């Protein structure tokens, strides 16, 4: 048969495939989420997320060594406080659990890039991401508390603050407060495009942050839409965000591509708890090849345009990448 074009030539053997391949996942792309709790000697596995734990600070210290040894150099902290109240004061307490974890981490591993997730939902008794009045989630008064939380975490050592609340105007207010207090070098990674997703289910068990009434649909985005994402992202860029995010990842790769193409800032995607739990559950059943499925998924996120990925699989991916070398 006379075929001028034989695309299969580019796949003829591993050497050729490796030469022409376009997309890689690198250890530098990975951000590993860590849940920290008060107390001592706590290392409790999250039932819906096998392999992911709550750590008290003494256990965190042990875990950080493991993290460091994999080569992962970026982590994002989530706090699960003992005490919750109406106004989420744990989020902006200089002695809050995340603030303490940041100070500890920076004292042990100064070159570990520390990101602090900034939100109120883990700290409020009602589980919403903002202040409430009746059944309304208030926007503007919440901004002051978020900015306070960001400043408190920045002062405790966070290199990056990452607001995940989806209130309007949070990036601008946060930038202003950080700058007024001499924290010009603290980056803001905005959860710019964050959908009201059922994929956050396992995280809410882990962080004990499910809303006590209603849902998050009056602030997180409607997943039937994509135009919204352009408005949200444009506002974040204008208000001073340094890094953008699309969340969740796998079901939203169209949005990853759109935001990567349309905006000239680095883009992160968050492969959320539900994505981890689905892959992990199937893997534990022996129904999928875990490493192959996870690496394929991570590469797809990069191919869609994400520069970096927040994933509960970060340590495994880093180890798998080392094995390949
Ligand atoms: C807090 C926050 C959530 C996640 C990250 N930050 C939960 C939510 O918005 O309900 C989800 C992360 C995950 O599912 O892994 N606002
Ligand atoms: Zn929240």
Cβ-proximal residues to 168 (8 Å cutoff; 6+ apart), any chain: 139, 235
The answer to whether residue 280 is catalytic is no
49, 312 contact by CB (below 8 A):
yes
Question: In the prediction, which pLDDT does 233 show?
Answer: 98
User: What are the C-alpha distances in Å from 200 to residues 48, 74, 146, 254?
Assistant: 11, 21, 21, 19
Nearest ligand, CA of residue 278? 1
- The answer on pLDDT for 211 being more than 90 is yes
Distance CA 294, CA 207 (A): 24
Nearest protein CA to atom 7 of ligand 1, as residue: 200
For residue 215, give the nearest of 298, 121, 88 by alpha carbon: 121
Distance CA 247, CA 166 (A): 12
Average pLDDT over residues 124-152: 97
Encode pLDDT of 233-272 as tens digits. Answer: 999 999 999 999 999 999 999 999 999 999 999 999 999 9
User: What are the C-alpha distances in Å from 241 to residues 194, 227, 257?
Assistant: 15, 19, 19
- Helix H, strand E, coil C: the string for 173-210 is HHHHHHHHCCCCCCEEECCCEEECCHHHHHHHHHHCCC
Arithmetic mean of pLDDT over the chain: 97
C-alpha of residue 33 to centroid of ligand 2, in Å? 15
Question: In the prediction, which pLDDT does 208 show?
Answer: 85
Encode pLDDT of 174-189 as tens digits. Answer: 999 999 999 999 999 9
Q: Which atom of ligand 1 is nearest to the CA of 122?
A: 1
| Residue 222: DSSP 8-state | P
The answer to whether residue 148 is catalytic is no
**Residue list, ligand 1 pocket, CB within 6 Å:** 117, 119, 121, 129, 164-165, 200, 203-204, 216, 272-273
Place of tokens 């209130």: 167
Question: In the prediction, which pLDDT does 325 show?
Answer: 74
Encode pLDDT of 285-316 as tens digits. Answer: 999 999 999 999 999 999 999 999 999 999 99
Chain centroid to CA 314: how far?
11
């Amino acid at each position: 048969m006379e075929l001028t074009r034989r695309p299969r030539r580019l796949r003829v053997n591993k050497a050729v495939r490796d030469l022409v391949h376009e997309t890689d996942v690198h250890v530098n792309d990975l951000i590993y989420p860590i849940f920290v709790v008060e107390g001592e000697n706590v290392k409790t596995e999250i039932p819906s997320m096998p392999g992911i734990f709550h750590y008290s600070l003494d256990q965190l210290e042990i875990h950080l060594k493991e993290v460091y040894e994999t080569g992962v150099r970026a982590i994002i902290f989530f706090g699960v406080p003992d005490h919750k109240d109406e106004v989420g004061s744990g989020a902006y307490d200089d002695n809050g659990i995340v603030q303490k974890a940041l100070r500890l981490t920076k004292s042990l591993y100064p070159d570990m890039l520390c990101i602090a997730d900034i939100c109120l939902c883990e700290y409020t008794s009602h589980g919403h991401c903002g202040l409430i009045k009746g059944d309304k989630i208030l926007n503007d008064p919440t901004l002051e508390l978020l900015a306070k939380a960001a400043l408190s975490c920045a002062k405790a050592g966070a290199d990056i603050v990452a607001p995940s609340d989806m209130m309007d105007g949070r990036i601008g207010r946060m930038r202003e407060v950080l700058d007024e207090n001499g924290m010009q070098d603290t980056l803001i990674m905005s959860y710019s495009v964050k959908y009201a997703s059922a994929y956050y289910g396992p995280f809410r068990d882990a962080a004990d942050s499910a809303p006590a009434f209603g849902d998050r649909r009056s602030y997180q985005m409607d997943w039937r839409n994509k135009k919204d994402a352009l408005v949200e992202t444009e506002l974040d860029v204008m208000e001073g965000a340094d890094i953008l995010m699309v969340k969740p990842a796998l079901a939203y790769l169209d949005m990853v591509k759109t935001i990567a193409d349309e905006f000239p800032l680095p883009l992160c995607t968050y492969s959320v708890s539900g994505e981890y739990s689905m892959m992990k559950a199937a893997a534990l059943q022996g129904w999928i090849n875990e490493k192959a499925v996870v690496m394929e998924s991570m590469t797809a996120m990069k191919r869609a345009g994400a520069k970096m990925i927040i994933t509960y699989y970060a340590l495994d991916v880093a180890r798998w990448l080392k094995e390949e070398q």
